[in-house]
Amino acid sequence: MSSSTPPTGLSRELIALRAARELEPGSVVNLGIGLPTLVAGFVKPSDDILFQAENGILGYSGISESDFDSDLINAGGQPVDLVPGASFFDTADSFAMIRGGHIDAAILGGLQVSARGDLANWYVPARGGGSVGGAMDLAVGARKLIVAMAHVTRDGQPRIVEICEYPLTAERCVDVIITDLAVIDVGLQGLTLRERAPGVGPSKVAEWTGAALLIPEEVPEMSL
């Protein structure tokens, strides 16, 4: 870890915007609680993406600005707007979709991601609490797992590490990490820097990453 101050990177909204660009048109996508919920607001209707919530909704377009309706909420308890043709089902069917490999992509928050793609996102030992919710099933069941999170903690500790210190959500499950500083691919050879935040050099990203980072000769800035 560096002793200097972390560089200023993307806002939460811009992280969500960049994460939205990882989604393929026509895909079925589950968004985790917190930062990932913002992703729905950056998807165009023409992309024909169906958002699924593990409490039993398929086909919502984002967080609702209208009056709260307790029957129309996502897994985090936030009101959502539905798209034409949206469907409702029980939790058993919802998790059958997830465990059966019918979710094309999931975007989850993260506390730590290891060099081999392990994810820890539900429990901080120092706080003594946490709930895994549906994250364990999504991490294993989704065809592609994107983690959207801050690159370092509030006290400057890397969230991308060689080995996770926190209890794991799932092993070797992360495909892409998107942070306020970078887009990083997770592969058999380890972590590869794909893009960097505007104004942040590759060496700065490596400085604030707690695991070995492969850096190609050309690393473009994120196009936002």
The one catalytic residue in 13, 22, 24, 54 is 54
Three-state secondary-structure class, residue 15: helix
- pLDDT tens per residue, range 22-66: 999 999 999 999 999 999 999 999 999 999 999 999 999 888 887
Its sign, for the CA torsion 190, 195, 201, 205, is: negative
For residue 160, give the amino acid letter. Answer: I
Low-confidence spans in the chain with pLDDT less than 70: 1-3
Tokens representing residue 157 in the block: 């500790």
Query: Which residues lie closer than 8 Å to 35 by C-beta, 6 or more apart?
Result: 12, 15, 16, 109, 148, 149
Name the DSSP class of 129. B
Query: Is residue 54 among the annotated active site residues?
Result: yes
For the entire predicted model, the pTM comes to 0.95
CATH of domain 12-64+71-214: 3.40.1080.10
